[in-house]
Amino acid sequence: MVIFKLSSSLSEVAWLLLHYNTTIQDNRETFGGPSSIAGDFKSITPSQFIRDGDTVSSPKGLFELVFFNLKNPNKRYLGIQFKNISTQNVVWVANGGQPINDSSAVLKLNSSGSLVLTHNNKVVWFTNSSTKAQKPVAQLLDTGNLVIKEEDSVDETYLWQSFDYPSNTLLAGMKLGWDLKRNLNRRLTAWKSDDDPTPGDFTWGVVLNPYPDIYMMEGETKLHRLGPWNGLRFSGMPEMKPNPVFSYNFVNNKEEVYYSWNSSDSSLISKVVLNQTSKGRPRYTWSKSDKSWMLHSRMPVDYCDGYGLCGNNGYCSITNSPVCDCLKGFEPKFPEKWNSMDWSRGCVRKPPLNCTSDGFVSMTGLKVPDTTNTSVDESIGLEQCRDRCLKICSCMAYRNTNISGAGSGCVMWFGELIDIKLFPVGDQVLYIRMPASELVEHRRNLRKKLVISVSAALGMVLLAIYFSYRFRRVIVGKSLAESDYERHMDDQDLPLLNFSTIIIATDNFSKKNKIGEGGFGLVYMGKLGSGLEIAVKRLSQSSKQGMREFINEVKLIANVQHRNLVKLIGCCIQKHEKLLVYEYMANGSLDYLIFDRTKSQLLDWPKRFDIICGIARGLMYLHQDSRLRIVHRDLKASNVLLDDTMNPKISDFGMARTFGGNQIEGNTNRIVGTYGYMAPEYAIDGQFSSKSDVFSFGVLILEIICGKKNRVLNRAKQTLNLVAYAWTFWKHGRALQIIDSNIEDSCIVSEVSRCIHVGLLCVQQYPEDRPTMADVILMLGSEMALDDPKEPSFITRKESIEANSNSSGKDNSSNYEMTITTLSVR
């Protein structure tokens, strides 16, 4: 079973699917057999009427028209539901805003072909058709569509159908959109709550822009935009691809504009649901025993899906930190607000357009801008589109309407560009108008990048040759570890720095330049002759594992590039020294700030939340998006560095391991890492995977929130570490009492609560229970429902919250941290 979910901060659309090995006809037995009813009709004619307790079933028994209530027995509704599914089964409601308070209602089909629902001789609900019937009949089809037609009609000409008037649910074959001939807008309207089908404030449907789009709205306010149909998929859904199960259809002509889908699998049950609010929304889980719905995925998948988050002429990328940036040729309208992450005012042109000498630059992988102010011409192609846009001074961007095949059609945007999202990968190109000066700079940068790329490639070849030669001379008579270096480093395309250059940069490794100390050596600050500030990691000559970690770190970090990973500038191996040169991080390591009562005041909650999200993005890149699939194995606060804007960067890859192909886990007899951050399966059995890093990340989240290390707290009383401490408070519904007092005034309660919840999900004992980092980013950036965490590992004693409360606010924990470098595993 699968669910596709689309949501804003206050509303959501969910696509739920159920799949069974049995056929639809056999599902009655699967779900426990048919209900006991007074009468089960196959149709309604003017000579019949339906009372509360009667039903009208579809031919194969998949759907039924029935009277029902939702928790409150004094509020009765007439609606359509899945007949043999016991939960979340209602797909359409006739009288959502006018419930009936007893079971005396009657449904009739009158002679003119209208269904009329009455209660105590008052009309509660009725259908209306412009065409009168001669011999009407009402039937419920196996699609879930309640129709009124001529009894002898054999075609699909209906006098009225429920599919034209959706409630909060869309079924396969239904049309979401417009019948232009009848001026009929088929859109979903949310219920006020799960047990109140009164139409709510939120709608989801097609908006008839020149280039039609699908919006989620609260009244007239736009909350989310799906992006226009581009011939293959919706612009904001690059993951929407052809598959053997679902066929997607978007129709846009003079008579209709709508979206629909169908399934080729007759045993697949599916529906789309728009919910009013994400607060208290149902949790969808899969159960083999009762065949219940299960949550599979949802939208928005991240923070960037909020409508217009980055303002005019800005774009949002979830892999960036901060997520908003200005389009090329634009700059923040109010830099101070932009730097404080208030992006609502957007961006403005740096040099203005002059119309006569403008051109275009392309951006790839976008959800294209809001299509309200667009013009569409399906008769011309891309080149003609460019020429036309260039002649109209107010035309700001253009592209094909249909990107399938060679592409076709033309759409042009006028005025400000808003609600743009950049995806990591994508095939959608937008051509944005630029003044001549920006075009010259753009071409210069392209040429420069080309020259640098060619030069770098040639330089790397020469460096590799030189490096290989030099190293072969150095390793004669040296240790096996240095022989490893020769074998592994010949192919590394990394700049080599002279030892004399580093001596000058660090003032001969002066004590005043020492900025850190790790398990394999010291770290010094320095400045190259160019003025570039650097951090030099000097591996200890006495470390038996130093060469191995040096090789590993150079191999890995030279092959990864991400804004949340520290950048390796070069390395040096001369005069028995092994040196790694990194970009300098002005604010040092995370532990230097969060574990100090005074310095931690520099990190309010928004900064800490950004740090959490940045670390998550860096880890997801390592696990999923980098050329090498990397498990860090020593993620901790001291290995997270902060630049001058407090952007976090993961460092120290000496202990990292790579996976290839379909490998998902590994084993080792040499366990490395830091006690308190190591996952139990790794510390005990030497088994590691990306889920080992997830465990460490969970510990790190809790440390950032609490301002305390994951070690024994209140040692004099009990042996409860930070993870156990957080779990105990969370279990008693008092999780917010663990937060650092320095963030009490700045914290956003919902964000802090969600982060604690996510942290506890990450530190669950068994790897299969922990989320992936992609899941974590989704959880942090949305308001999706979260599973309850299971009791984490490394809890040796249980105690009450009262017994462990520290009213003084002091950290009574011990002041030590143990780094494990070797451990024999049986």
Note the Cα 484 to chain centre separation in Å: 41
Residue in 302, 325, 634, 775 annotated catalytic: 634
Which residue would you say has higher pLDDT here, 771 or 809? Answer: 771
610, 748: one domain: yes
Q: For residues 613 and 607, what is the distance between their CA atoms, to the nearest angstrom?
A: 10
Using CA of residue 31, residue 32, residue 33, residue 37, what is the dihedral sign? negative
The mean pLDDT value for 445-457 works out to: 53
Q: Report, in angstroms and rounded to the nearest whole number, the Rg of the chain calculated over CA atoms.
A: 32
Confidence of residue 572 (pLDDT cuts 50, 70, 90): confident
Single out the residue of 563, 794, 555 nearest to residue 681, CA to CA. Answer: 794
Answer yes or no: is 826 within a domain.
no
pLDDT of residue 481: 40
The mean pLDDT value for 539-544 works out to: 62
Answer yes or no: is 540 within a domain.
yes
779, 640: one domain: yes
Which residue would you say has higher pLDDT here, 472 or 222? Answer: 222
Give the tokens for residue 685: 């059995």
515, 646: one domain: no
Confidence of residue 457 (pLDDT cuts 50, 70, 90): low
Answer yes or no: is 26 within a domain.
no
Give the tokens for residue 72: 């409150």
Contact criterion met (CB below 8 Å) for 136 and 225 = no
Q: For residues 598 and 615, what is the distance between their CA atoms, to the nearest angstrom?
A: 23
Q: How many CB atoms lie within 10 A of CB 271?
A: 23
**What's the pLDDT tens digit per position in 290-333?**
355 655 446 666 778 889 999 999 999 887 878 899 999 999 99
617, 579: one domain: no
164 an active-site residue? no
Give the tokens for residue 314: 């800005």
Which residue would you say has higher pLDDT here, 15 or 640? Answer: 640
- Of all residues in the chain, the percent with pLDDT exceeding 90 is 45
- Among 165, 185, 214, give the residue marking a domain's end: 165
The mean pLDDT value for 171-199 works out to: 94
The boundaries of the domain holding residue 129 are: 32-165
Answer yes or no: is 825 within a domain.
no
611: CB partners within 8 A, 6+ apart: 590, 603, 640, 642, 646, 648, 704
Q: Specify binding-site residues for ATP.
A: 537
Single out the residue of 366, 461, 495 nearest to residue 422, CA to CA. Answer: 366
What value does the mean pLDDT of the chain take?
79
Say how many domains are in the chain: 5
Residues 566, 572, 575, CA angle at the centre, nearest 5°?
A: 145
174, 69: one domain: no
95, 152: one domain: yes
Q: What residue has token string 């366990």?
A: 671
Answer yes or no: is 27 within a domain.
no
Answer yes or no: is 535 within a domain.
yes
CA distance from start to end of the chain: 41
DSSP assignment of 219-253: TTEEEEE---B-SSSBTT-TT----SSEEEEEEES
Q: What is the CATH number of the domain that holds 681?
A: 1.10.510.10
Q: For residues 697 and 590, what is the distance between their CA atoms, to the nearest angstrom?
A: 13
- Would you call 78 exposed, middle or buried from its count of C-beta atoms within 10 A (0-12, 13-18, 19+)? buried
b/e code 576-611 from CB counts within 10 Å (16+ = b): eebbbbbbbbebbbbbbbbbeeeebeebebbbbbbb
749: CB partners within 8 A, 6+ apart: 736
HSE-CB at 108 with a 13 A cutoff on CA atoms is 13
pLDDT of residue 461: 59
pLDDT of residue 37: 40
Supply φ then ψ for residue 55, to 5 degrees. Answer: -140, 160
135, 180: one domain: no
Supply φ then ψ for residue 11, to 5 degrees. Answer: -150, 155
574, 468: one domain: yes
Q: What is the CATH number of the domain that holds 92?
A: 2.90.10.10
564, 656: one domain: no
* pLDDT higher than 90, residue 84: no
Q: Where are the beta strands (DSSP E) in 503-601?
A: 514-518, 521-527, 533-539, 568-574, 577-583
SS3 at position 30: helix
Answer yes or no: is 751 within a domain.
yes
811: CB partners within 8 A, 6+ apart: 597, 708, 713
**What's the pLDDT tens digit per position in 759-769?**
999 999 899 99
pLDDT of residue 740: 92
Give the tokens for residue 460: 């790397």
pLDDT of residue 157: 86
pLDDT of residue 14: 60
Q: How many CB atoms lie within 10 A of CB 129?
A: 16
- Among 281, 298, 315, give the residue marking a domain's end: 298
476, 605: one domain: no
Answer yes or no: is 439 within a domain.
no
Q: For residues 778 and 612, what is the distance between their CA atoms, to the nearest angstrom?
A: 13
- Among 254, 282, 298, give the residue marking a domain's end: 298
370, 427: one domain: yes
Q: For residues 269 and 17, what is the distance between their CA atoms, to the nearest angstrom?
A: 5
Q: What is the CATH number of the domain that holds 539?
A: 3.30.200.20
Question: Which among 333-342, 519-528, 695-704 has the top mean pLDDT?
Answer: 695-704
Residues 561, 540, 571, CA angle at the centre, nearest 5°?
A: 35
pTM summary value = 0.56
DSSP assignment of 667-697: E-SS--EETTTS-HHHHHH-EEEHHHHHHHH
Rounded to 10 deg, the angle between the 690-706 and 749-762 helix axes is 140
Note the Cα 165 to chain centre separation in Å: 32
Q: For residues 621 and 381, what is the distance between their CA atoms, to the nearest angstrom?
A: 38
Q: How many CB atoms lie within 10 A of CB 812?
A: 12
595, 526: one domain: no
**What's the pLDDT tens digit per position in 20-37?**
332 333 333 333 333 334
SS3 at position 212: coil
Q: For residues 205 and 404, what is the distance between their CA atoms, to the nearest angstrom?
A: 24
Which residue would you say has higher pLDDT here, 721 or 385? Answer: 385
As beta bridge partners, residue 800 has none
b/e code 378-412 from CB counts within 10 Å (16+ = b): eeeebeebbebbbeeeebbbbbbbbbeeebbbbbb
